[in-house]
Amino acid sequence: MEVLSTEIVMFGGEAGAGDLRKAMSQGGTSQFQEVIRQELELSVKKELEKILSTAPQNESEHTKKDLEGFRKLFHRFLQEKGPSVDWGKIQRPPEDSIQPYEKIKARGLPDNISSVLNKLVVVKLNGGLGTSMGCKGPKSLIGVRNENTFLDLTVQQIEHLNKTYNTDVPLVLMNSFNTDEDTKKILQKYNHCRVKIYTFNQSRYPRINKESLLPVAKDVSYSGENTEAWYPPGHGDIYASFYNSGLLDTLIGEGKEYIFVSNIDNLGATVDLYILNHLMNPPNGKRCEFVMEVTNKTRADVKGGTLTQYEGKLRLVEIAQVPKAHVDEFKSVSKFKIFNTNNLWISLAAVKRLQEQNAIDMEIIVNPKTLDGGLNVIQLETAVGAAIKSFENSLGINVPRSRFLPVKTTSDLLLVMSNLYSLNAGSLTMSEKREFPTVPLVKLGSSFTKVQDYLRRFESIPDMLELDHLTVSGDVTFGKNVSLKGTVIIIANHGDRIDIPPGAVLENKIVSGNLRILDH
């Protein structure tokens, strides 16, 4: 692993670069690296003990679990060498391991769908902040449609299910220490909804200095100087933190059997009764422990993780794991036709079993960051879908693109706020008035990045029913009741400003230069 070769010089007091060269010439590198590894693990263990000693008594047990989880992850990080997949072993998944959604839907629904629904828990990954869209606080509290937030829409969807089928499907939010407090404050407004809402927290791991590989944090606090010293370790942490919270056992005790896990900002990730029925009543009598919803790649999705066959099991391969020489092949839409939507259906009993056996194996994602003061750190993360290879009888289901509608940018926000979609009981569906089922390609420039700037630049959301492609760059504003059709490109050069007048209809147009509309 590259990082170790630089470390060897660093721990120079006892084992310097000269010693390393000597060890290499004598064929003893692995032995020497092992000594370095052990030294480093010991140093990290001491640092973690120091941090733990600063924890207040009421947080001690929880902090201990977090730091122990981090230590295990760090140990694995030091053991791994090079890319985590051998490209030569990657194969296309067998035909029957990725089922078309149409085939699953064609089975229909049983009469007792309510009792099937009562076995389900909906889990939303709610650890992220709205910072990339210029918002403070949890991303799930950003308004996305008619003043409704991501969280509002989620609660409405599940309440609608519970009322329609007279069921008790609970909602579980996996928060992070970044989102927990603000989310809990807002949950009070759902007290009268017909949805039980539970929360649990992701672990809190220390960021490590890129050079020394030691934790940046000096104590357990995460305010003041320590704000940037901690991070939530990716959604792969769901298995351990769900188990450690005690909530997993509680839900199993209530007769729940499956969780449907998805990102809270994926507005297409609604409970699908056909997939649930396939899980609970499999045609071959053998239940799947893990189902991953995948969908066909477009050119916009070339970086998405893909399902492959690897050493006889389904395996999620992410772009970060691919050797550089094969990245273009990985991105190829013809060889790897599908990508992971991160909508996952997982057996609760299997999570409990594998967690207790310490048998959930997920590749480590090394995420480099630069802190505000300029310090380079790395954070070790895992991804929830990577665990697919640890479960028995896993399956991919190739779902329609409509089940993947993530809102990561204001360009995505414009799509879901527009008349392309209609909102019903918290669910967005493509308008029947749109002739093509494909979603237009929208690229808004940097003047639109922050939600408040974006909202200020649209007096009302344009009619986009016949739009194929929209690119906007520079200082551009839109008047009321604008209609956009075909391909529309609007570019205001530096120092120029373009105001699209109210009621304008732009069809296959390029607008550039300067267009000011002044009130008089």
Q: Does residue 297 have a known ligand-binding role? A: no
Point out which residues pair with 215 in neighbouring strands: 208
Give the contacts of 351 (CB within 8 A, at least 6 positions apart). Answer: 239, 242, 243, 248, 259
Q: Does residue 160 have a known ligand-binding role? A: no
Q: How far apart are CA 259 and CA 249, in angstroms?
A: 13
Point out which residues pair with 369 in neighbouring strands: 377
Look up tokens 């199993």; give the residue.
Answer: 252
Catalytic residue among 408, 450, 485, 509: 408
Q: How far apart are CA 44 and CA 462, in angstroms?
A: 55
Q: Does residue 202 have a known ligand-binding role? A: yes
Give the contacts of 432 (CB within 8 A, at least 6 positions apart). Answer: none
Q: Does residue 443 have a known ligand-binding role? A: no
> In this structure, which amino acid lies at residue 366?
V
Q: Is 169 helix (H, G, I), strand (E, B) or coil?
A: coil
Told to judge if 331 belongs to the known catalytic residues of this protein, a careful annotator would answer: no
Q: How far apart are CA 305 and CA 299, in angstroms?
A: 14
Q: Does residue 408 have a known ligand-binding role? A: yes
Q: How far apart are CA 396 and CA 85, in angstroms?
A: 20
Q: How far apart are CA 30 and CA 24, in angstroms?
A: 9
DSSP H or E run through 340: strand 338-347
Neighbouring CB atoms inside 10 A of 51's CB total 21
Neighbouring CB atoms inside 10 A of 78's CB total 20
DSSP secondary structure string for all residues of 73-138: HHHHHHH--S-SS-GGGEEPPPGGGEEEHHHHHTT---TTHHHHHTTEEEEEEE--BSGGGT--SB
Q: Does residue 265 have a known ligand-binding role? A: yes
Annotated binding site: 139, 202, 234-235, 265, 408
Residues annotated catalytic, as ranges: 408
Annotated binding site for UTP: 139, 202, 234, 265, 408
Annotated binding site for substrate: 235
